[in-house]
Structure 1
């Protein structure tokens, strides 16, 4: 049992909680299912979880607020459950560092595939961190420290990044002077293709530019390639 990934399911719909618990347990996963923020916080102190399945529409403390709290506790992957058409909440959730989303109503097999993909990427990221955790990456005076998942400005002061912003910047820094389309970035970060209205990458790029003091209208560091995507125009040194 200890080798099975432990999944925390947060959803106020009892039928969905029970369905997911049974389905995931049949697929060799441990499951703790809770209905709201209060129960989530209690469960958090009583277990160690490899992934959280989080419904955004919760009574009381909303799913976005709960996702923000989880991000202050750990880098545990989050798969969000959203209602169809909730584009704004989905974008905000991804900015907060959620790793993927599934729109309701959903097929349990699709959710299982997303969970497995996120767990696999989390495991690969942990291996990369173990292998290269001491190697800082320098670019244009800035320093990215994978071991501590932090960004330092040219004066050596840490610049706060959300989980999603850090992952996006790392993807760019690891592929300098290479054009990365939105679909490529989404695939690298989330393991999925962008929907027709998915602006999460564009929003995150804008936030990164502000934090990197890179003028969005005349960006010199993270450049926009018309009809293509984005490119980090800098030399990266380890």
Structure 2
């Protein structure tokens, strides 16, 4: 029997929380709520069964951005931002700090539930299928060692903590040294086709990844820029 998904709803407006909670419960979800960022972080630490977070972008105190960043330090729980901001910059920023999706207020509850189900199905599919790289438990190239089963990365003998997106980017690039990937290709391979149009978000993830694995991120040996096209993993590594 499939367990009931648990959704944490975070918003500083009690009326908004009440509307979302009632609808989600009618749709068969278990719902936890938080009225501010600190309460949300406490819930994440307390409840280990949270399957997805609906997170308000603008809140007093700890903003949704702050909460997302802190959650991403220890967890890959999917996050959907609830935001009144529709500018491209804000959408890109949300994806860059680790959000899985966003929905702009005002929104229909049917659309919100559809977004939730798409992400939960994607997570379930990823957990039930063997990824290409898992054919080998260990992968070594140059000074980089990857343990796919444990999602563990070691660079020059030291453990490196990568986000889910950074890990996926590294595994895509490192297995095909010299092959050039466009930003759009990487975006679709990591996030899916629904994020087409936000290729610039890949630049931020690549920059963060370089800082963690390259001795000189400004002159990288591992992940190299192919100007006007995209990125590749160094052939001589």
TM-score w.r.t. length of structure 1: 0.78
Give 3-state SS (helix, strand or coil) of 1:50's partner.
strand
Describe the shift of the 1:92–1:137 C-alpha distance in structure 2 as closer, same or farther (beyond 3 A). Answer: farther
Q: Distance in 2 between matches of 1:47 and 1:141?
A: 35
> Aligned equivalents of 2:117 and 2:206: distance in 1?
27
Partner of 1:7: 7
Contact 1:99 1:189 in 2 (8 A): no
| Rounded Cα–Cα distance in structure 2 between residues aligned with 1:74 and 1:54 | 15
Instruction: Report the alpha carbon displacement of residue 142 of structure 1 after superposing the two structures with TM.
Output: 0.8
Q: Flag as ranges the 4+ runs of structure 1 deviating above 6 A.
A: none
Unaligned runs of 5+ in 2: none
Tell me how large the CA RMSD over aligned residues is.
3.3
Distance 1:39 1:225 in 2: 44
- Look up the match of 2:188: 187
Aligned equivalent of 1:228: 229
Change (3 A) 1:165 1:59: same
Residue 111 of structure 2 aligns to a residue in which SS?
Answer: helix
Question: C-alpha separation between the residues in 2 aligned to 1:117 and 1:46?
Answer: 23
The higher relative CO (CA closer than 8 Å, separation ≥ 6) is in 1
- In the other structure, the counterpart of 2:21 is 21
Structure 1 alignment gaps of length 5 or more:
none
Cα distance in 1 for partners of 2:25, 2:177 equals 42
* Distance in 1 separating the partners of 2:53 and 2:168: 18
Cα drift, residue 207 of structure 1: 2.0
